Amino acid sequence: MAYDSTVVRDRPLSDSALAQLFTEARTRNAWSDRPVSEDLLRKLYELTKFGPTAVNNTPARFVFVTSPEAKARLAPHMSEGNRAKTLQAPVNVIIGQDIDFHEHLPVLFPHAPGAKDWFADEAARREAAFRNSSLQGGYFLLAARALGLDVGPMSGFDPAGVKAEFFAGTSVEPNFIVNLGYGTDENLFPRSPRLSFEDAAQIL
């Protein structure tokens, strides 16, 4: 996407848009059978990829699980409390982290030709991959809501099993999993409290 200097960048979103993204959005535990098209999944990725990451390292990798066969491979690795809703959701998204993301830096961060060498240490790469793929996962959730989809992020699964089933022989490891589609109010918990500004933040 070419840079457009005419785009207004200091105009706040409407209250309705903020409600869709944040204040009225809910984590869904039940799903309608309304399908999610491949075109929409592609559009979702195209939005997500523009979220910032350190040195543009973009370590997140996305597996969109949509077919009954793929769901049957994923379901046994979900915790008991997450299995039924995972099977019900139209799409499950495995958000992975590529530990060898630095191999792509010559393309992704071309103005620093030596950037790949900054991540020679595997422990440092793992830390960077986890932090930045988690950031990308957050962008993904908001992009999905912006496109009118509902989300249900989950960490209750067997990482080793998901790794073996979907990322065997690669440098990608699972970070977390998201149910995606059009949610219903079934099994919707009351909104939980949030910390106040005074409890969670300070201005120095």
- Angle among Cα 2, 61, 107 to the nearest 5 degrees reads 45
Q: State the average pLDDT for the chain.
A: 96
Residue 62 CB contacts under 8 Å (≥ 6 apart), including other chains = 45, 48, 93, 94, 95, 96, 140
pTM: 0.94
Q: Per-domain residue ranges for the chain? A: 33-184
Question: In this structure, what is the dihedral angle of CA atoms 97, 100, 104, 109, given to the nearest 10 degrees?
Answer: 80
Residue 4 clears pLDDT 90, i.e. is over it = no
Residue with tokens 């869904």: 28
Mean pLDDT to the nearest integer, 112-128: 97
The one-letter amino acid code at 70 reads A
- Please determine, looking at this structure, whether the domain spanning 33-184 carries the CATH number 3.40.109.10: yes
Residues belonging to the chain? 204
Segment 7-39, tens digit of pLDDT:
667 899 999 999 999 999 999 999 999 999 999
Segment 159-189, tens digit of pLDDT:
999 999 999 999 999 999 999 999 999 999 9
Backbone φ, ψ for residue 152 (5° rounding): -145, 85
The band of 201, judged by pLDDT with boundaries at 50, 70 and 90, is very high
Segment 94-112, tens digit of pLDDT:
999 999 999 999 999 999 9
Residue 75 CB contacts under 8 Å (≥ 6 apart), including other chains = 83, 86, 87
